[in-house]
Amino acid sequence: MSALFEHSPWVEARADARPSSGNRYHDLMEVVYDAPRDEKLALIRAHPELAGRAAIDGSLTEASAAEQASAGLDRLTPAEFERFHALNAAYRDRFDFPFIICVRLTDKAGILAAMERRLAHDRDTEIATAIAEIGKIVLLRLEDQA
């Protein structure tokens, strides 16, 4: 099994246990969308904070480290680092899970703007947004495997 979903091999295992539609991405995301809310939250919570503790201590998965580096999150100025840290804390306090965005499709400024904008969302909207962003991450990871 690959590491398409951060620390969540159950998604791929369930997809593999079902009849295939012939579209791997569709099969994987169907498992996610069909999962109970608590499992969706566990999936979201399995993701690291952007430019957070895991990035500092080197415990990011290889895929996450490369993705965060692609957006320049491994080269933050002290002011940028503080801004990310403050927004991560505010986001986690509001929603009780980390901010998720497909960093390969944006840059530092875009991520910061999205963090600020999404803090105004309600929790249900943000859960749906996080799952959609995970879908984008998975699609790119699948394309990398092809």
pLDDT in tens, 81-126: 899 999 999 999 999 999 999 999 999 999 999 999 999 999 999 9
Catalytic, 26? Answer no
Taking the model in full, what pTM does it have? 0.89
Q: Does domain 9-144 have CATH number 3.90.1150.10?
A: no
Return the half-sphere exposure (C-beta side, CA atoms, 13 A cut-off) of residue 134.
Answer: 30
List 26, 47, 85, 121, catalytic entry: 47
Q: What's the DSSP call for residue 52?
A: S
Residues shown for the chain: 146
Angle of the 9-17 helix axis to the 24-34 helix axis, nearest 10: 110
Please report the pLDDT score of residue 69 as a whole number: 79
47 and 6 in contact (C-beta within 8 Å)?
yes
